[in-house]
Structure 1
Amino acid sequence: MHVKYQDTQANTTEQLNSTGQQSHSKLSRPSSVAETVVKMLGDMGVEYAFGVSGGAIAPVWAALHQSSIQVLHFRHEAGAAFAAIEAYFASDRPVVVFTTTGPGITNALTGLLAARWEGAKVIFVSASTSSPQRGRWACQETSTYTMPSAGLFTSGTIFHYATTLESSDELSEVARRIALGLGQPGGFVAHISIPANIQTTSVNTSLPRVTLSQSMGTASEETIAKCVRLLSEGPFAIWVGFGARGAAKEIRQLAERTGAAVMCSPRAKGIFPEDHPQFVGVTGFGGHDSVFRYMREQVPRHILVLGTRLGEFTSFWNPEMIPKQSFLHVDIDPKVPGSAYPSVETLAIHSDVRLFVKAVLKYFPESLSLSTALSLPRPIHNVVHPCTSNLVLPNILMNGIQQVIVEGSDALVLAEGGNSFAWAINFLQFAKPGRFRASTGFSAMGHTCTGIVGAALARRGKAVAIVGDGAMLMNNEVNTAVAYQIPAVWIVLNDGRYNMCEQGMTYVGFKDVDATIPQVDFVKIAQGMGADGIRVETEYEIQTALEKAIAATDPFVVDVIIDPTQIAPTHNRNQSLISQGATNY
C-alpha cells in the first residue's frame, strides 16, 4: 500500500461575524489534541464511534460530539466494542470505540479481542491518568503502577498497534501508523491511550493529512500456473471462508467452470449459494453430514482453501477433511496456510483471494456439464411436522425464520454463540453473501446481542439477532437501540438454561451439573426499556410473530419458549472436546 501526505493547517481562521453595522475577524483558538485526533480519524473514514463516557475521556467525548462522526453512547464497553465490529462488517469502514480509564478499558477488552479474531478494523481511544497523578492512587488510575503496560498499551497479541500519547509532537507518527494499519488487507485493531491533561493540550503545528491507498498482494504467474496444473489433475474441492467474501462472483465462476465441489466455513454461509447444486455443505460447528459423505465417497486430490484459517470451529482438525494429496491454501496472512493441518502437504499462496481467483479463471474458460454437479451430495435440512406440545421445536423456529426473514426480507441475520448459532448454521440457507454473521472464533457470549445494534445502524436497515436467553441476560443493548431508534430485532431462544453447556456436559460424560436459569419474560424487559416485543409459546404463533417483528420500525424482541430437550447439532464440537481430553469417559 501507499500512504500519501498533504499538509493541512491545524490553525484555522474564523469566518467573519457581523453584529449590526460592525464586522470583525479573529483567529480561532488552536485545536486541542482531542480535537485533532478526532479530525484525523474522521479523515480516515470513521463514521461511527461507540463507547461509554467518563470523566477522564471527557475532552475526546466532547470532540467526537462536535465532529462529523456519529456518537453512540452504550450501556457497557464490551457491548460498544461488539457493535463496532458489526458496524465495520456492515459498512466496510473503520470504527472507533471510546472508554474512560481503568474499568472502562478492561470492560472493553473482550470485545476488542473479538475484533482482532474477527478481522475488523477498530480504533480504540481510551483515557489514561495524567503523569503528575500517577502512583498516587488516582481514581480509576491507569498507569504502570496499577495496570500492566505490555499488551494493553503496546503493540502485540491484543492490538496490532498501541501507544500512550504523551505529547502532541507524537501525533504525526500516530497518524502514520494508524493509516498504515487501516490500509493493509485484513483486520487492524489499534489502541491510542491519551492522558487526561494531554487531551486538552493545544496543537500548534500542522498535522499531515493521510490519504489511504491500498495495494493488494497477489501470487506470481509461476505460482498461478502451478496451482492451475494441480487443480487440473482431477476433481478438486473449494473450501470457502469468510476471508473470501469479496470474491463471491469469481468463486462461483471457478466452481461452475471446473465442476468443483464447494463447501464453506460457518462464517462464510452465502458467499457461495447454499441452494447451488455444487454446494455440499457447511463444515465444522453446526455443519452438515453431507460434507463427510462427499469426503468419504469422492475424496478430492486437492482442496483449494480460500480465506479461512481452518480453525477448530471450521474443521475440528478432522482427518476426514484431508485431501488425497494437498491443500492449496490462499490467504492474505502468510502465517495461516499450514497452521491447522501442519502434517499435510500445503501449497501456501500469499494473496488477496479475489485477485487470485481472477488470475486462475483465465485458465479455465469452459463451462461445467450439469451431470457433474448432480453427482455431488447435498445438505439435508430436516423439517419435522408441528407437534401438539406447548413448547416450540428449534428447527421449526428456524424454518419460520428461513421463510419470513431470510427469504421474505433483505434483513441481515446474526447468530449468537452457543446453541443459537448451531441451529442457525445448520438450518438456515443463504443464496447471497453479506446476509449472515456469526463469531465462531472468539465466540464471546453477548457479541450478537449487542453487535446487532452496530450492524443495523451501519447498514441503515433491519438486522435480526438469533440469541439464547443466557447471552441476552449477560449483555444486551436494547435500551441503546431505543435511544437511537435503530431497527434491530432480537429472537430469543428461551429455554431457561445455558443449554449448550448442559447438553455438552452430558455428551462428554459429566452429569448432575446445574446450568438452569429462572425463566425470564424478555418481552416485559424489552417494554421496560422502551422497546416492543411478542412472546411465542406455540409453533402456530411463529409466523405472525416474525412478520410483526420484521415490519416493526423500532427495536423489537421475539421471546420464543423452546423445547430444551431438543439436541442441537453440536456433536462435532463435543467430539473435539473429547479428543482433547475434556471427558469423563
Structure 2
Amino acid sequence: MIVRRTAKPSARTADILVDVLVDAGVEVIFGLPGGPIAPIHDALLDRPEIRTITTRHEAGAIFAAAGYAQATGKLGVVVVTSGPGILNTMTGLASAHADGLPVLVIAGEVPRERFGQGAVQEGTSEGLDIVHMVRSITKFAAEARDPNSAPALLRRAIATATSGRRGPTVITLPMDVGTAQSRAPAVEVTARLEFQSPAHTLDATASALSNAKHGLLLVGSGARWGRGPELVRELAERLQIPVMTTPKGKGVFPENHPLSLGVFGWGGHPSASDYLGEGVDVLMAIGTSLGETATDSWSTRLAATEHFIQLDVEAQRIGRNYPVTLGVVDTVEGALPQIIRRLAPTPPREARVFGVRRQETGADLPVGPEGRISPQRALWELQRALPSNALFTSDIGSHMFFALHHLEIRSPRGFMIMFGLGSMASGVGAALGVKVGRPDAPVVAVCGDGCFSMGLGDVGTAAQEGIPMIFAVLNDQRYGLVEVGNNAVYGRTPSFACPMNVAQLAEGVGATAVVIEQPGDILALDLLALSARGPLVLDIRIDREVRLKNGRLEFLKEMANKAKK
C-alpha cells in the first residue's frame, strides 16, 4: 500500500522539487530508478498528477522525452540515477541539443559527505565531473548543492530549456540534498527573450519577397513551434510563393498544399530540386540552420541571384553556410507577423499550383527484383491503412530516405526525425514519447532492423505500459545504409549483416508481431485493432535491391575522389 504525504511549509527537498515540476505543468516523467535518485521517486508517489514511465534504458527515456516535447510543445522530463545513469543519457542530450528540443534531466548524485571518496557511481566534480561533461551539449547544467536553493535552480533549468532556442538542461541532485528539510521559497522564475529587428531590415525583407520573380521559402523545424506553421502558410499564400521544407521540417508546411514542393535535402523530392534548377532570385530560409541534411550536402543550387534571406533565433547561424543579404534574428512567431504587415497592399495574387513529385511510388513499384515488397510500397500501404491523423517518427538508416520521400505529411507535428545528431534508435524511443503526448492519434515508428534491435527495450516499455502504437520495421537483415554507401563509393564493402528474427524478438518483450512479405499484406490488416492494447510490430521483410537516388552518395564519392588526388 502506498501512503501519501502532504508537503508542509518545511518539507523534504525532493517533495518541494516535485511540486515545482507540477507547478510547471509537467504531466509525465520518463526514466529509471537508482539509489541516489530514490528521494525523487518516493516524492512522486504523492503526486499522482505526474505519470512515471520506467524505461529499460536511460537512452530510451531521453529519446522518449524528446519525442514527447516535439509532439506536445511541452517540456520533456527525465529522472535517472548518478554515474552510468546520467552517462547513458549523453547521446540523447546531444541529440536534443542539436535538434532544439526542450528536455530536462534530473540526475541523482552521491551524498555530499562522500564527495571525492570513491563512492560507487559518483559523478561530482571530484569524480567524473558530470556537470562539466554535459555543458557543451546543454543550455544549462548545475549541481544542486544546497537544499534551500535547489527549487530556484530547478525553476531556472525549466525556464532555460523552454525559452529562446529550446534545448536540454541538467540538474544533478545529491541524495542528502533530496532528503534534507528545506522551506519552499516564494520564488517565480520566468524567462522570455524578446528580439527587435531593425525596421529597415524588415522593410527590405518584405520588399524583396514582394518583388521576387522566382522566389522560394525554405522552412526548417524551427518554424514548428507555436504559430510558426500558421504564419508560414499565411506568408506563402499571400505571396503565392512555393515552399519546400528541410528533412527535419517535413510537415511544417502541408505536403498536399498546392504551393508545396516537398522536401529538399536528404530524401528530397524532384519537385524541389527541379524548381531550384531553374534558378531562384529570392530565397528565404526560415528556422533552419542550413546544415548538411537540409541543404543536400551544401548544394550550390540554393544560391539566390538577388537575395538570400535567413531568419533564425540564433545570430551565430546567420550566414554560417551561405552568403546572406538580409539576416533577421528572431523567432518565427516574432518576425513573420512584422514582415507580413509590411507586404505591399496589392490585389490577391493568382493562385499557383506546384505540388510534390516523387520518384517511383508504392503504386508504381509494389515489389523489387527479389520479388518482395518494396519499402515505398510498405509505406504507401501503411498510410492507406491508417487514419489521416496518424503521426510518424523515422529512425536513422536506409529507411529514413524512404520515409522522408514517400510519406505524405500534412500536419506540423505529423513527422519527427532527430537528424541533428543522427543517432540510431532515436526514432524508436521518440515514438514512445510521441504516443504518450498524443494518445488521440495513431503513432508509427518507421525503423530498420538495426535500429529496432537497439531500441528493443522501448518496445518492451510500450508493452509493459499498454501503450498502443506501431513499429514498422523495414527489415533487410543488415546495416544496409553502410553497405550500400561503401559499395557506391569504394566498389566493395565488408559484410554488416544483422540477422535476427524481428517478430520473435517483438513477441519476447510482449508485443504483437506480424510478418509482412508481399504487397497487400499490410492493407489486409486491421492495424488499429491489432495495436489497441499495446505495441504492434510489423516485421516488413523488404526487397534489399530497391534503391532510392540520393545526393548523399554523390557527396561521399566526391569526398573520396578528392582524397585520392
Residue 249 of structure 1 aligns with which residue? Answer: 230
> Who is 1:113 aligned against?
94
TM-score where L is the length of structure 1: 0.88
1:428 and 2:427 are equivalent in the alignment: no
Identify if the C-alpha distance between structure 1 residues 325 and 33 changes in structure 2 by more than 3 Å, giving closer, same or farther: same
In structure 2, the CA distance between the partners of 1:182 and 1:144, relative to structure 1 (3 Å rule), is closer
Are 2:210 and 2:344, in contact at CA under 8 Å, matched by a contact in 1? no
Q: Could you say if the C-alpha distance between residues 583 and 441 of structure 1 is closer, same or farther in structure 2, counting changes exceeding 3 Å?
A: farther
C-alpha distance after superposition, 1:48-85 (max 9, x if no partner) = 11111111211112112322221111100000000000
CA contact (8 A) 1:44 1:210 kept: no
| Aligned equivalents of 1:34, 1:346: Cα separation in 2 | 52
- Displacement of 1:183 in angstroms is 4.9
Between 29-38 and 213-222, report the one with greater CA deviation.
213-222
Secondary structure of the residue aligned to 1:508 is helix
Shift of 1:547: 3.5
Q: Given the superposition, is the C-alpha separation of residues 98 and 150 from structure 1 closer, same or farther in structure 2, using an over 3 Å criterion?
A: closer
The residue aligned with 2:383 is 402
Residue identity (%): 27
2:188 alignment partner, one of 184, 197, 210? 210
**Runs of at least 4 residues off by over 6 Å:** 582-585
Q: Tell me the distance in 1 between the aligned counterparts of 2:334 and 2:126.
A: 49
**Aligned pairs (5 A) from 1:19-38:** 30-38=10-18
The structure that has the greater radius of gyration is 1
For 1:582 and 1:61, the matched residues in 2 are separated by: 55
2:106 match = 125
Aligned 1:317-396 pairs, distance under 5 A: 317-341=298-322, 344-362=323-341, 363-365=343-345, 366-370=347-351, 373-374=352-353, 376=354, 378-383=356-361, 384-387=364-367, 390-396=371-377
Mapped to 2, the partners of 1:357 and 1:98 lie a distance apart of: 37
The alignment status of 1:219 with 2:200, answered yes or no, reads no
> Which residue identity lines up with residue 48 of structure 1 in the other structure?
V
Q: 1:150 to 1:484 in 2, by over 3 A?
A: closer
Aligned counterpart in structure 1 of residue 446 of structure 2, from 441, 466, 469 = 466
Change (3 A) 1:53 1:288: same
| Aligned counterparts of 1:54 and 1:535: Cα–Cα separation in 2 | 38
Of 286-295 and 143-152, more deviation after overlay is shown by: 143-152
> Any idea what SS the aligned residue of 1:168 has?
coil
1:201 to 180, 193, 202: 180
**Contact 2:75–2:162 (CA<8 Å) still a contact in 1?**
no
The residue number in structure 2 matching 1:189 is 168
Alignment of 1:28-177 (within 5 A): 30-67=10-47, 68-149=49-130, 151-152=132-133, 156-171=135-150, 173-177=152-156
Counterparts of 1:28 and 1:42 in 2: how far apart (Å)?
16
Aligned to 1:303: 283
Given the superposition, is the C-alpha separation of residues 584 and 533 from structure 1 closer, same or farther in structure 2, using an over 3 Å criterion? farther
1:550 to 1:442, Cα distance in 2 relative to 1, 3 A: farther
**What is the DSSP-based 3-state SS (H/G/I as helix, E as strand, rest coil) of the residue aligned with 2:503?**
helix
CA contact 1:258–1:364 (8 Å) conserved in 2? no
**Secondary structure of 2:74's aligned partner:** coil
Deviation at 1:479, TM superposition (A): 1.4
Unpaired runs of 5+ residues, structure 2, are none
Shift of 1:551: 5.8
- Shift of residue 177, structure 1, vs aligned partner: 2.3
CA, structure 1 residues 492+549, in 2 after alignment: closer, same or farther (shift >3 Å)? Answer: farther
Decide which of 522, 532, 538 is 2:512's aligned counterpart. 532
Shift of 1:377: 7.3
Equivalent residue in structure 1 for 2:455, among 472, 475, 487: 475
Aligned residues of 2:309 and 2:326 also touching (Cα < 8 A): yes
Classify the secondary structure of the residue corresponding to 1:98: strand
Q: Distance in 2 between matches of 1:455 and 1:255?
A: 29
Q: Is the 8 A contact 2:104 2:161 kept in 1?
A: no
The AA in structure 2 aligned to 1:287 is G
After superposition, the Cα gap between the structure-2 partners of 1:152 and 1:546, relative to the gap in structure 1 and judged at 3 Å, is: farther
TM-score (norm 2): 0.91
Contact 2:462 2:468 in 1 (8 A): yes
- In the TM superposition, what whole-angstrom CA distance separates every residue of 1:485-509 from its partner, at most 9, and x where no partner exists? 1112100011100111110111111
SS state of the match for residue 490, structure 2?
A: coil
Distance in 2 between the 1:149 and 1:397 partners? Answer: 43
Distance 2:53 2:9 in 1: 28
1:490 to 449, 461, 471: 471
**In structure 2, what is the equivalent of residue 542 of structure 1?**
522
Q: Is the 8 A contact 1:416 1:445 kept in 2?
A: yes
Cα–Cα, structure 1 residues 133 and 214, in superposed 2: closer, same or farther, change >3 Å?
Answer: closer
Shift of 1:176: 4.9
Q: Which of 534, 541, 552 lines up with 1:573 in the alignment?
A: 552
Which stretch has the larger CA shift, 344-353 or 308-317? Answer: 344-353
1:547 maps to a residue whose letter is L
Report how far residue 385 of structure 1 moved: 4.2
Return closer, same or farther for 1:265/1:567 CA change in 2, 3 Å cut-off.
Answer: same
Aligned with 2:186: secondary structure? strand
* CA displacement at 1:441 relative to structure 2: 1.4
CA contact (8 A) 1:78 1:108 kept: yes
Q: Could you tell me how far 1:300 is from its partner in structure 2?
A: 1.9
CA distance in 2, matches of 1:31, 1:492: 48
Please list, as runs of the form range in 1=range in 2, the aligned pairs for 1:553-564 lying within 5 A after superposition: 553-564=533-544
Query: How many Å separate the matches in 1 of 2:272 and 2:105?
Result: 40
Kindly state the Cα deviation for residue 511 of structure 1 after the two structures are TM-superposed: 1.4
C-alpha displacement of 1:381: 4.3
C-alpha separation in 1, matches of 2:273 and 2:139 = 37
Deviations 1:77-111 (A, max 9, x none): 00000000011112221121111111111111111
Q: For structure 1, list consecutive stretches of 5 or more residues without a partner in the other structure.
A: 1-13, 16-26
Aligned-pair RMSD on alpha carbons? 2.4
1:450 is matched with 429
